[in-house]
Amino acid sequence: MAKSVFNKKLPPSCEYCMHGSHLEYGGDILCKKHGVTELRDYCRSYKYDPLKRIPQMPKISENYKPEDFEL
């Protein structure tokens, strides 16, 4: 349910699961339920945690003029 509220196109991933946490080495996920897994894996215990997701930075247009910054 929460997954659809924040982003409908976001595929399930252990990277965004409330049961998983990043390991300091290797880039894998340590899951409380299943142990060490890869980033893109998921299981039926998957629960989306929106606080773990880092959104992409918006692209800034390079078509600005000095007048755009004047008050």
How far lies 70's CA from each of 4, 27, 60, 64, 67, in Å?
40, 45, 18, 12, 5
Quick one: pLDDT at residue 59? 81
Quick one: pLDDT at residue 3? 44
Pick from 26, 27, 31, 51: which is nearest to 43 by CA?
31
**Order of all β-strands in the sheet with 20-22:** 20-22, 29-31, 35-37
Is the pTM value of this prediction over 0.85? no
Quick one: pLDDT at residue 6? 59
Quick one: pLDDT at residue 10? 80
User: Which residues of the chain are under the pLDDT cut of 50?
Assistant: 1-5
d(CA 28, CA 21): 9
Quick one: pLDDT at residue 4? 45
